[in-house]
A and B are shown apart, each in its own frame.
Chain A
Amino acid sequence: MTIGIVVFPGSNCDADTHHALRGVLGQDARYVWHQETSLDGLDAVILPGGFSYGDYLRAGAIAATSPVMRALRGYAAAGGPVLGICNGFQTLVEMRLLPGALLLNAPGEFRCQHVRIRVERTDTPFTCAMREGDVLRVPIAHGEGRYYASDRELARLTLERQIAFRYCDAAGHVTLAASPNGAIDNIAGVASVSGTVLGLMPHPERASEAIVGSADGLRIFESLARWIAAHPVREAVMRARPAGPAAQAGASGEAR
């Protein structure tokens, strides 16, 4: 079982994620440089937090054009689990692998604080060891985290159960005051329709040991380990490879 952590120029949570996976959970993990063109042999891929390319243009927009992202489209299309954390989430929405967009926080400020998020969907590789309604205490650190979707997109997200996490209070109530950034519908994380691609603004890797104030984030990585053990992802992705290049060409040629 090997989990890949993609490193872009400006990533800064890659080592934290590696530590949470390998140091805390004892899972095999390796770094993947953004110029690599293959994700062969990986059981899951994580896009870590940070400030890829200095957030130039729009957060995640330049990282979305990296060579490794062409491979990621094929990997995701074949059902490989992909997790985007903070800047990784911003990159996934810029690639249109997840719906919506992430805008400058409504207060116009960078927010660095602990928040609580409620688990809204549990049939994903990243939430399968949780129960719906569980509350996780995890930190955020972002300037552009206000999730936005048009009314029509939001209706579709709700219908397809794509909302994975919502900002909430300690009791699990989703209130306006619990949202640190003005995200629409308090959305903190969304998933693809199948659930195998998921992005969230909070940093689970920074809440993976009690000594740093919370170990709630570890449940996301524990879910992933459990999912991988139960689903032969690598074989499935390998089997899908003959169709890979065509699917990839179609995806990258898609108009944005």
Chain B
Amino acid sequence: MTAGGPAATASSATAWLRTVRVTVQLKPGVLDAQGQAIKKGLDALGHGGVTALRAGRYYEIQMPDAPDLEARIRAMCEGLLANTLIEDFRYDVE
């Protein structure tokens, strides 16, 4: 939590809200055509020193805290947010 931020003045109900940050990326070894195109763009702008770039997706999710919070996050990732055949996901909870 950010000290003195909105959380400090928020009602007690929001204290139960957690922020989940999920990042999804193609598994290593799966060709990342988007990442390669972005790297080419960087090259074109003169940033030729970039040796590798992998693209990904990022989600911020707010949900109430619960004893099974992590299990629910994993189920959401495996069920929709990531295609686990081709993508890895990682998350942190604040």
Instruction: Please tell me if A215 contacts chain B, counting CB pairs below 8 Å.
Output: no
Whether the pair A101, B85 counts as a contact (CB closer than 8 A) is: yes
Chain A-chain B contacts (Cβ-Cβ < 8 Å), number: 41
Q: List the one stretch of B9-17, B30-38, B43-51 in contact with chain A.
A: B30-38
- In the bound assembly, the distance between CA atoms of A104 and B36 in angstroms comes to 11
Whether the pair B31, A106 counts as a contact (CB closer than 8 A) is: yes
- Residues of the B chain whose Cβ atoms lie less than 8 Å from the Cβ of A61: 80, 83
Shortest Cβ distance from A64 into B: residue: B80
Instruction: Please tell me if B42 contacts chain A, counting CB pairs below 8 Å.
Output: no
Nearest-Cβ distance from residue B19 to partner chain A, whole angstroms: 20
Residue among A58, A148, A150, A255 facing the most chain B CB atoms (10 A cut-off): A58
**Residues of B in contact, count (CB < 8 Å):** 17
Interface positions of A from 129 to 184, Cβ below 8 Å from B: 146, 148, 150, 182
- In the bound assembly, the distance between CA atoms of A3 and B84 in angstroms comes to 33
Instruction: Please tell me if A100 contacts chain B, counting CB pairs below 8 Å.
Output: yes
- In the bound assembly, the distance between CA atoms of A65 and B80 in angstroms comes to 9
Residue among B33, B57, B81, B84 facing the most chain A CB atoms (10 A cut-off): B33
Nearest-Cβ distance from residue B8 to partner chain A, whole angstroms: 34
- Residues of the A chain whose Cβ atoms lie less than 8 Å from the Cβ of B88: none
Whether the pair B31, A103 counts as a contact (CB closer than 8 A) is: yes
- Residues of the B chain whose Cβ atoms lie less than 8 Å from the Cβ of A65: 80
Whether the pair A101, B86 counts as a contact (CB closer than 8 A) is: yes
**Which residues does A use to contact B, with CB under 8 Å?**
57-58, 61, 65, 94, 100-101, 103-108, 146, 148, 150, 182, 255-256
**Which residues does B use to contact A, with CB under 8 Å?**
26, 30-31, 33-34, 36-37, 57, 75, 78-81, 83-86
